[in-house]
Structure 1
Amino acid sequence: MGRMDGRAAVVTGGARGIGAAVARVFAAEGARVTVADVLDAEGQEVAAELGAPARFRHLDVTEPDDWAALLADAEEAGGPVSVLVNNAGVLAFGTIEEQAPEDFRRVLDVNLYGAWLGLHTLAPALRRSGDGVVVNISSTAGLMGYANIGAYVASKWGLRGLTKSAALELAAGGVRVCSVHPGPITTPMTAAMDDSIAAGQPMARFGTPEEVARMVLFLVTEATYSTGSEFVVDGGATTGSMIVAEE
């Protein structure tokens, strides 16, 4: 018997990276998973790999009509959605002075507005399920500042705050809302980043999407007295000090 038998879950950004890993873990535990993404070919591959009852649905998280269609489809497939993982995200580099306004807006639209729109659309279904859980994938950039990715930092701090507001609003309806804050994780988004980023961490390596997925599974299935809280998966990067190698 799987820990998510009978539950319907939606994972945004589910075509690759952390989202695909979460979808795989959920499916392995018996969930009906909707893999949602704008990357149609890659998302269809993930859904096909998982088999029935997993399915892929095209979703631009910034489009209300896409969310409404996804919800209708997911509920028609079998009961209210009880798990939402807001994982879709984009990254844009540039200093505050150099970055184009449209690039800043795009990052906030996908990373923050998209998550809000998912909560806005799915909240009634999450309440109807009787055991709704929302996991917002933030970042260590939602706990501290980083240079040259100001839009990403702003979006992830915003997502952390949205998590707390949603937790307060939805608790009476039996819905828990938490945020996960990964450090450097090996994904397509971080493919261009140098391994030295993790060199000074207590655990001097990039994490894997599967390590984040296991934290998400824990929050959905085990952390039944946690809401509005942050859970960090970062190899110790935010502990407050960096290890200096001896010469």
Structure 2
Amino acid sequence: MAVARIGISGWTYAPWRGTFYPKGLPHRAELEYAAERLDSIEINGSFYALQKPASYRRWAEETADDFVFSVKGGRYITHILRLKNAREAVANFCASGVLALGAKLGPMLWQVPPNLAFDPEAVTAFFAMLPRTTTAAAALAAETSLDEDRTFLDPGAERPIRHAMEVRNPSFDVPEFTAIARDAGVAIVVADTAGRFPVIRETTTDFQYVRLHGDEELYTSGYTPEALARWAADIRGWLSDGLDVYAYFDNDAKVRSPVDAMALRALLAG
């Protein structure tokens, strides 16, 4: 049966303290508090810098057995290398500790910048390089240039690894990109960006990945009950088609992400 997981992008935000997080809650307890109210979180610190294996292990330990993390790929890969000649960087990313999440490792997210135009050859080569199982990820991670004390290379039990790409340049909104993603089994993120970036609603694999950045204003506006109802209807449609769904709110500037995520979960449970 297809499953929908609704969560937030990141969990360490000072404005949430005393609003979403109870006043006086220790910072070290914030993940556990959020995970008790949601069933998935998108790790976005990994976008800005490689995280440590000890951090991934701790996050896995602080969440319930059925909790799942999505992990955002590094901006060095997507924004600096721009998907090209990225094998070593992807190996380092895989070696940095993501495998320490074990069964809690969900999709890997690759967000490319608005000024990156669609390059069919580069995208095809990048997708072909991505590991599709934990065993393949460990094999790629073994090529790392990181110091040994910064790596975790144990694949554990072999599990599939899913990948999703969020694009922001209109040149990607063409059938050729959809076909490349479908051939590679990579999900194209359905990104709600208050109309700023393209919305591609194509199903290219066995799951749908949704990022909700703001209904009316990018990164800041919350979602009205009517807007949440529309997204709930979309998610029910994908579920009825047999697709798993991962949906994350990334509209944190006005402390809306966790509130909206819990509201959407309640709608789907009702």
Query: Normalization by structure 1: what TM-score?
Result: 0.37
The higher relative CO (CA closer than 8 Å, separation ≥ 6) is in 2
Query: Normalization by structure 2: what TM-score?
Result: 0.35
